Amino acid sequence: MNNRLNIAQLLVAENCVLCEAVTRGDFCPACKESLPHLSPHHCLVCASPMIESSICGACLANPPAFDTCVAAVNYAFPISALLHSLKYQTNLAMASVLADLLTARIGAAALPDFIVPMPLHPARLRERGFNQAIEIARRVSKNLGVPALPAICRRVKNTPSQTGLPWKEREKNIRDAFACEADLSGKRIAILDDVMTTGSTLNELAKVLRKCGVIHISGWVVARTPSGDS
């Protein structure tokens, strides 16, 4: 009987994506524990770290168009390396790994009607060959049973990367970058992206969705930069 159990365990065994130790799941227990986990206390809207969970001063002074944000982990090594592998080395297998981390953080409570992956401009999509947000959203959609709408919103302005811009310039850079003509009256939407830094990109798409009748918007991101809200 024990031999049969051992064989069964070997058949379902995988290798940790970080240290390659034999394990069940994407990470061995030691590597999973070492991931850059979020602070237990954060802003209830933008998920920025706080001394105690409440709404931060920035969100109180200038409420964003989205209602809340869920992030799986902080944007730090090794998560940054896994995201880089997905986006710039076309390691599409990482999409499922990152999606599972996000799914675990979301849980099953108060799920939205639809998931909207953050759109890429067609020029950027041709350059990269895929949209990492769509790849992650497909897995999250399957995990949670929430339909994804990858084509409902469009990026109509090919803006420079937010990464290289000062925080104050990001809101201006992303302004009027998205379009959506769908009737989403009364719907609850989760916007899914890979990384959130200042929240400007998420907020701009949320504004467009509000005009389409969406009543509640969540931001679902794999990683949140520790020092601010992309």
Cα dihedral sign, 75-79-81-84: negative
The whole model's pTM is what? Answer: 0.90
On the CB side of 69, CA atoms within 13 Å amount to 39
Instruction: Return all residues near 39 (Cβ < 8 A) that are at least 6 apart.
Output: 49, 50
Q: What is the pLDDT of residue 222?
A: 98
As a whole number of angstroms, the distance between CA 77 and CA 71 comes to 15
- Contact predicate 221/194, CB 8 Å: yes
Q: What is the pLDDT of residue 7?
A: 46
Q: Helix (H, G, I), strand (E, B), or coil: what is residue 72?
A: strand
- Contact predicate 125/156, CB 8 Å: no
As a whole number of angstroms, the distance between CA 73 and CA 97 comes to 13
Q: What is the pLDDT of residue 164?
A: 63
The full set of domain ranges for the chain reads 38-159+175-224
- How do residues 66-83 score in pLDDT, each as one tens digit? 999 999 999 999 999 999
Q: Can you list the residues of the chain whose pLDDT is less than 50?
A: 1-5, 7-11, 228-230
- Contact predicate 137/150, CB 8 Å: yes
CATH architecture of 38-159+175-224: 3-Layer(aba) Sandwich (3.40)
Q: What is the pLDDT of residue 207?
A: 97
As a whole number of angstroms, the distance between CA 4 and CA 228 comes to 51
